[in-house]
């Protein structure tokens, strides 16, 4: 059965999933890269970037699981890039170069219309201006029998959580403190929303927590 899921979502010990002041030099915000150190050393990460090598331990197993059976993605505008407001031109096509790592239809939430962008490797970016429900309906249709993965950022994940539309979340908790940034857990009552922890595993650089809707 297909799911709506968040997977491989890094979070610091003090609850932040991105650092402050995202810009071209700091795509994950200042200090935000530390949250994803669990992923950067894996074989999965190296393969996504066309490289060999990488570790094959527990972190890699969770990284591979995160990429499995994904038929469509949903991204927030901030995750797509640092450009704010109306699109000035068509030059910005994401952080990832000519061949993004998604390889399936990818729906970007935005308030400003833009024509779809066809990229190498099977990724097409579609820009959705009529809200999270519309994006999810389009993503489910595109995914067919496969899963829809909510890629982020934090605001996008929280919107889908608050409306109980996420079936499963894999959070990778890193032993780092950011002090500020974008908080994933703040103000959310997970039990009231119907979520519970179903699995925990200690990896090489993160503690992996699987949370599911009951």
Residue 72, in any domain of the structure:
yes
Average pLDDT score over the chain: 95
**Domain housing 178:** 4-18+27-83+99-213
In a domain, 88, yes or no: no
Residue 167 has pLDDT above 90, yes or no: yes
Of 177, 167, 172, the residue nearest 59 (C-alpha): 172
Mean pLDDT, residues 131-135 taken together: 98
* Residue 77 in domain: yes
Q: Is residue 47 part of a domain?
A: yes
**Any domain includes 161:** yes
94 within some domain? no
Q: Which two tokens stand for residue 66?
A: 């995160």
DSSP string computed for 4-18: EEEEEEEEETTSEEE
Nearest to 139 by CA among 85, 71, 190, 192: 71
The CATH code of the domain that includes 112 is 3.40.430.10
* Tokens describing residue 24: 């071209």
Predicted confidence (pLDDT) per residue in 80-123, tens digit: 988 889 998 889 999 899 999 999 999 999 999 999 999 999 99
In the prediction, which pLDDT does 84 show? 85
When divided into structural domains, the chain yields a total of 1
- Confidence category of residue 49, pLDDT binned at 50, 70, 90: confident
In this prediction, residue 27 has a pLDDT band, given cuts at 50, 70 and 90, of confident
pTM of the shown model: 0.94
pLDDT-above-90 percentage for the chain = 85
Would you state the pLDDT for residue 24?
A: 83
Cβ pair 198, 211 in contact under 8 A: yes
The pLDDT tens digits for 59-69 are 999 999 999 99
Judging by DSSP bridges, how do beta strands 105-109 and 117-118 pair with one another? unpaired
Q: Is residue 89 part of a domain?
A: no
21 pLDDT tier (thresholds 50, 70, 90): confident
Q: In this structure, is residue 90 part of a structural domain?
A: no
| Interval 74-78 mean pLDDT | 94
Angle between the 132-143 and 154-162 helix axes, to the nearest 10 degrees? Answer: 90
Across 38-119, the runs of DSSP E, i.e. the strands, are 70-75, 105-109, 117-118
Phi, psi angle pair for 59, to nearest 5°: -60, -40
pLDDT at residue 1 tops 80: no
Q: What is the pLDDT of residue 213?
A: 96
47, 67 contact by CB (below 8 A) = no
């Amino acid at each position: 059965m297909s799911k709506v899921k968040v997977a491989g979502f890094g979070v610091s010990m003090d609850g932040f999933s991105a650092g402050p002041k995202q810009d071209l030099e700091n795509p994950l915000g200042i200090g935000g890269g530390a949250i994803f150190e669990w992923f950067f050393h894996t074989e999965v990460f190296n393969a996504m970037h066309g490289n060999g090598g990488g570790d094959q331990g527990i972190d890699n197993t969770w990284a591979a699981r995160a990429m499995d059976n994904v038929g469509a993605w949903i991204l927030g505008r901030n995750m797509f890039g640092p450009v704010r407001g109306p699109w000035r031109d068509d030059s910005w096509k994401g952080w990832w170069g000519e061949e993004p790592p998604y390889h399936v239809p990818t729906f970007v939430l935005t308030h400003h219309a833009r024509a779809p962008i066809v990229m190498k490797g099977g990724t097409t970016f579609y820009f959705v201006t009529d809200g999270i429900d519309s994006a999810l309906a389009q993503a489910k249709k595109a995914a067919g029998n496969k899963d829809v993965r909510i890629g982020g950022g934090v605001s996008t994940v929280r919107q889908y959580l608050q409306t109980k539309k996420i079936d499963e979340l894999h959070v990778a908790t890193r032993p780092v403190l950011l002090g500020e940034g974008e908080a994933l857990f703040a103000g959310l009552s997970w039990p009231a929303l119907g979520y519970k922890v179903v699995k925990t595993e200690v990896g090489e650089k993160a503690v992996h927590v699987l949370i599911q809707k009951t």
